[in-house]
Structure 1
Amino acid sequence: MAKSAFMRWFHRFGSLPYFYGVSVPIARALAVPGVLLAAWGVFAGLVLAPADYQQGDAFRIIYIHVPSAWLSMFGYTSMAVAGVVALVWRLKLAEIYIVAAAPIGASFTFLALATGSIWGKPMWGTWWVWDARLTSELILLFLYLGVIALHNAIESPRTAARACALLSVVGVINVPIIHYSVEWWNTLHQGPTITRFDRPAMDLDMLWPLLSAALGFTLIFGWLTLWGMRVQLLWRERRSRWVGRMLENSR
């Protein structure tokens, strides 16, 4: 019973007119708490959290760097899942998600690399090293840019979307490499401090703002992706009847 109800919801949510109608309230529900949580987390991390006993105030950049790095991996992983759905079930909404999420994920990946370089200058004495974590993160940025380039290079929207889906599925192998690079290789990048199995290696006064910022950034990612999907959906379906009727009713 539960399975059949889920399948009915799945097929209904896959309807483009239905998604377009419900995406606005969902996006608004993500935007407000996302902005508030991100703003509080960043403010508390930059102003209220105590200084690190080793790094001093330089550690505070993690309140932007860590959420951005998390979303760089989360975004591409979600694109890979959507890619499987698009390739197997030919769901248009999954194709649209990949195209909409790619530039947002690329932006967070660039932000993670930029803030990591800013942190690395006082800690390592250089802006950049060909460290396993940094190099694999840079490859992730190139994968995002590859998805964007593929979409813009192929004229047929369906063909372009399927090519982007395939690249998303193949490229996701880089995500676990990024995550485990500090454990598999001897790197300059510090090891995990939040996802340790025993307990996070952070004081709670430092940890809670970081978790708040990470959750807020994630909600903002969802909000921006939903608006991007609406734009892509209207462009792809601009010649369909339901879009024409909607435009007629809005006049």
Structure 2
Amino acid sequence: MWKWLHSYADPEKAYNLSSKLLPWFSLLALLFISVGTIWGLMFAPTDYQQGDSYRIIFIHVPAASMSMAAYMGMATAAFIGLVWQIKAADWVAASIAPIGAVITFIALFTGATWGKPMWGTWWVWDARLTAELVLLFLYLGVISLYASFEDKVLAARAAGILAIVGVINIPIIKYSVDWWSSLHQPSTIKITEKSSMSSEMLYPLLINIVGFGLMIGAITIVRFKSEILARNGMRPWVRALAKQEGVS
């Protein structure tokens, strides 16, 4: 495994692999999100308690779950960059951070929009909501550290340390509704138990969760390719690529 990983530490190989993966991630993301969103918003049954207002979960839940998944991906890449000194891993972490921040903001915004009719207020200092807000600040902190140092090696090290330390917030978000009294509803999607949501609602939700994950992957690949080109602008293969793109 590590030989495979180190082989793609080479920027040119990483760039070429990214170019091959991007169309697949993009097309599958478009397909899954289109199916999941249309199914959820137009064809899923109306909830007997919340009416049609519950349909925001088809955006909120995928955004919230993928905000945590993206953070774990960023922290994993930062860990690899710190331990094995693989620059490409640092570029992956830097690529994920802004995407994760936007997805987390979407989760917070849609959660507030859902909370207003359900709780009668846009925001409460609930454990899960507060922990999700902390997640947004962690993303912003990582972004700021990457941008604060001219020495990109030092920037990656500082941002990587913050990303790894911030992992402690992920289980707090996940289990906050079980650990503390919370206005936020418990998880309806369960791995070891039967989900409390009907299949007509569950399937489009799961499809959208996968779609959001693929979308984050696609955007990350685009940003990763840009990072590779920015960090390797003087390499012959980058110059050749730029010349080729200029001709075409």
With structure 2 as the length reference, what TM-score do the two structures score? 0.96
Q: Does 1:177 align with 2:172?
A: yes
Larger displacement relative to structure 2 (134-143 or 74-83): 74-83
Counterpart residue number, 1:62: 57
Which of 147, 161, 167 is the aligned partner of 2:162? 167
> In structure 2, what is the Cα distance between the partners aligned to 1:32 and 1:226?
13
Which of residues 3, 10, 33 in structure 1 aligns to 2:5? Answer: 10
Report whether the alignment pairs 1:75 with 2:66.
Answer: no
Trace 1:117-136 onto structure 2 (pairs within 5 A): 117-136=112-131
Aligned to 1:52: 47
Does residue 158 in structure 1 map to residue 153 in structure 2?
A: yes
Whether 2:216 is the aligned partner of 1:225: answer: no
Structure 1 pair 25–74 and aligned structure 2 pair: CA distance change class (3 A): same
Q: How many residues align?
A: 246
In 2, Cα distance between equivalents of 1:238 and 1:159: 20
Structure 2: segments with no counterpart, 5+ residues: none
The CA distance in 2 between the partners of 1:125 and 1:247, in whole Å, is 55
**Counterpart among 131, 138, 145 of residue 133 in structure 2:** 138
Task: Determine if the alignment matches structure 1 residue 96 to structure 2 residue 91.
Answer: yes
Structure-1 separation of matches of 2:196 and 2:177:
16
% identity of equivalent residues = 46
2:49 alignment partner, SS class: coil
- Return 5+ residue gaps in structure 1 as ranges: 1-5
- Pairing partner for 1:32 from 27, 30, 44: 27
The alpha carbon displacement at 1:196 in A equals 5.4
Question: How far, CA to CA, are the matches of 1:28 and 1:154 in structure 2?
Answer: 33
Equivalent in the alignment of 1:3: none
Q: Does 1:242 align with 2:242?
A: no
1:164-206 superposed Cα distances (whole Å, 9 cap, x missing partner) = 1111101111011000000000010000110253200010000
2:207 alignment partner in structure 1: 212
